[in-house]
Amino acid sequence: MAAARALIVVDVQPDFLPGGSLPVGEGDAIIPGVWELMESNAFPVKVATQDWHPPEHASFASNHDGAEPLETIRLHGHDQILWPDHCVQGTPGAELYPQLPWTRVDAVIRKGTDPRVDSYSGFRNNWGPGGDRPPTGLAGYLRERDVEEVVICGLARDFCVQWTAEDAVEAGFRTTLVWDLTRSVDPSGDDELRSALEEQGVRIVEKAELTP
């Protein structure tokens, strides 16, 4: 089997879209382009990630006495931003965005399911109580499907997309990020983020530059 290219759609869920509990500005602007990539035959393998937290999740400010959303605390020896409750398992905000063609996706990786540790990346959790970043199994899944290149889009650019792209490089995949099919929680850091990702070996393109 020839080396394959995989599409990874990160966390396109109602809670991260306008009207959700942790909305990413203009998050809905990426939907038509993401739809097109999901429908495209250019990707023999398509996977999605889904933020999927139990209500007692450690990343929720509501689970820390006196804490406010967007405060930073130390968790297992690393900085952890506290978020509003979001993507709680089984709630409408945690669904895969209903208007996208999910039947085209081969596998969905649910992440952030361990109440003790956050998981921005589709490949590995953030640092847990053991001091390591346990893998989700995505790298192994892609390797078994002969994937050598991943093309990443979704939300949010400066958290889950960034960490997924960095870990994809680290795991040895050629990694492309479709810049206009992502949006940031804090767009003021976008220039810096773009340079940092490019330095780490992530190829950044606009959707129009993607070769079929």
Where on the chain is the footprint of Zn ion (CB under 5 A)?
A: 51, 112
Apex CA 119: angle with CA 138 and CA 42, to 5°?
40
Nearer to Zn ion, 22 or 30 (CB): 22
Catalytic residue list contains 207:
no
For residues 6 and 146, what is the distance between their CA atoms, to the nearest angstrom? 10
Considering the candidates 46, 118, 160, 167, report the single residue annotated as catalytic: 160
Contacts of 71 (CB under 8 A, 6+ apart): 61, 81, 82
**CB-CB contact of 160 with 49 (8 Å):** yes
For residues 62 and 59, what is the distance between their CA atoms, to the nearest angstrom? 9
Nearer to Zn ion, 23 or 33 (CB): 23
Least Å distance, CB 153 to Zn ion, is 18
Considering the candidates 11, 51, 85, 118, report the single residue annotated as catalytic: 11
Catalytic residue list contains 180:
no
Least Å distance, CB 49 to Zn ion, is 11
CA-based nearest residue to 208, from 175, 184, 180 = 180
Nearer to Zn ion, 51 or 158 (CB): 51
Considering the candidates 15, 28, 46, 111, report the single residue annotated as catalytic: 111
- Phi–psi pair at 182, nearest 5 degrees: -145, 160
Least Å distance, CB 109 to Zn ion, is 13
Nearer to Zn ion, 54 or 187 (CB): 54
Q: What amino acid positions are annotated as catalytic residues? A: 11, 111, 160
